[in-house]
Amino acid sequence: MLGVIGGSGFYSFFGPEARTVTVDTPYGSPSAPVTVGAVGGHEVAFLPRHGVSHEYSPHTVPYRANMWALRSLGVRRIFAPCAVGSLTTDLGPGSIVVPDQLVDRTRGRADTYFDSGGIHVSFADPYCPALRSVAAGLPGVVDGATMVVIQGPRFSTRAESRWFADQGFTLVNMTGYPEAVLARELEMCYAAIAMVTDLDAGIETGSGVTTVDVMVEFERNLVPFKKLVHEALAAVATERACTHCLAHDGVKLPFELP
């Protein structure tokens, strides 16, 4: 089974033919019930990251429950569409980018399943190369970017966004961490597909980023963005061949993965 985790403005994925599955986990309930349907010959599970009515802010999303729920349903490969700000004028609103690197600037988020046992996962390359290749190979998609993940829920100051840009970061987001590392701990392939909704505060003049502007831009591009995610799913190989994301090969875990 493949998985899709929808970001801001991305609250549904299937028509009425999809079935709904309620999942409980050792970490509580996920953001919403999971809907399961078919895309391109694959069974696909969809979970809205922020809930069906956007009731979860970036710092309150139940990330551990979300990833555990998808794994327990049989998901092993995940695309994670998300809204991002751009830290360069080369990527304006409407651009679709598949990042290859991540910088964590969050704080206080539960970001591991292994509070004991001395388990460490390799995270040098945080995204699955096989899934990245599929998404980045679609027409009009930009391949490669460093996404800095901030705590939120506020947007960056101008000084912060200029600092991020000076560091060579390309995109700014609030939810890409700890989602990616939790996927790695659960040995699930994971790739983000980012849609640029705005130029960050330090990159353009004016009043800065607003929620209304972000949501308007996302809604304007939602239909083609969903179509692109459908195309990415349909292009995924039937059998999973990736070994990059098998983080625990040769390691004895303190508990069994779901």
Tell me the pLDDT band of 208, cut-offs 50, 70 and 90: low
Q: Rounded mean pLDDT of 206-224?
A: 71
Residue 205, annotated ligand binder? no
Asked whether 77 and 42 are in contact (CB, 8 A), the reply is: no
* Pair of tokens at residue 54: 């956007």
Determine the pLDDT at residue 14.
85
Q: Provide the phi-psi class of 230: left if phi over 0, else alpha when psi is between -120 and 50, else beta.
A: alpha
Let me know if 198 is a catalytic residue: yes
List the one residue out of 74, 67, 65 whose CA is nearest residue 24.
65
49 annotated ligand-binding residue: yes
Check residue 255 and give its pLDDT: 93
Q: How many CA atoms lie within 13 A of 152 on its CB side?
A: 22
What number is the average pLDDT over the span 182-202?
A: 93
Q: Which of 100, 198, 213, 249 is catalytic?
A: 198
Cα 54 to Cα 197: distance, rounded to the nearest angstrom? 17
Q: Is 53 annotated as a binding residue?
A: no
Query: Token digits for 201?
Result: 């505060």
**207 vs 238, residue with greater confidence:** 238
pTM: 0.93
Helix (H, G, I), strand (E, B) or coil at 79: strand
SS3 of residue 242 by DSSP:
coil
**Of 104, 125, 200, 249, which is the active-site residue?**
200
90 in active site: no
Asked whether the predicted pLDDT for residue 97 surpasses 80, the reply is yes
User: Can you tell me the distance from the alpha carbon of 220 to that of 248, in angstroms, rounded to the nearest whole number?
Assistant: 41
Could you tell me which of 49, 64, 65, 47 has the C-alpha nearest to residue 2? 47
46 has a pLDDT exceeding 80: yes
- Position 203 scores a pLDDT of 72
Ordered alpha helix ranges (H), 98-174 = 129-136, 158-166
Percent of the chain with pLDDT over 90: 78
Using the Cα atoms of residue 6, residue 12, residue 15 and residue 18 in order, give the sign of their dihedral.
positive
Q: How far is CA 71 from the centre of its chain?
A: 15
pLDDT-based confidence at residue 207 (cuts at 50, 70, 90) = low
DSSP annotation of 180? H
Mean pLDDT of 8-23: 83
3-state helix, strand, coil split of the chain in percent (to 5) is 25, 25, 50
Is 246 assigned a ligand-binding role in the annotation? no
Q: How far apart are CA 2 and CA 190, in angstroms?
A: 10
Q: How far apart are CA 32 and CA 51, in angstroms?
A: 5
Query: Residue 42, SS3?
Result: strand
Within the chain, where are the H helices? 63-72, 129-136, 158-166, 176-185, 211-235
Whole-angstrom distance, CA of residue 65 vs CA of residue 50: 13
Residue 174, marked binder? yes
Residue 12 annotated as binding?
A: no
**Per-residue pLDDT band at 117 (split at 50, 70, 90):** confident
217-258 pLDDT, tens per residue?
777 778 899 999 999 999 999 999 999 999 999 999 999 999
Residue of 177, 4, 132, 179 whose CA lies nearest to 78: 4
**What mean pLDDT is predicted for residues 55-82?**
97
Q: How confident is the model at residue 134 (pLDDT cuts 50, 70, 90)?
A: very high
What is the Cα–Cα distance from 110 to 61, expressed in whole angstroms?
10
Q: Which domains does the chain have, with CATH numbers?
A: 2-235 (3.40.50.1580)
Return the pLDDT at 17.
83
Report the mean per-residue pLDDT for the chain: 92
Residue 33 has pLDDT above 90, yes or no: yes
Q: Mean pLDDT throughout 163-185?
A: 97
Residue 106 has pLDDT above 90, yes or no: yes
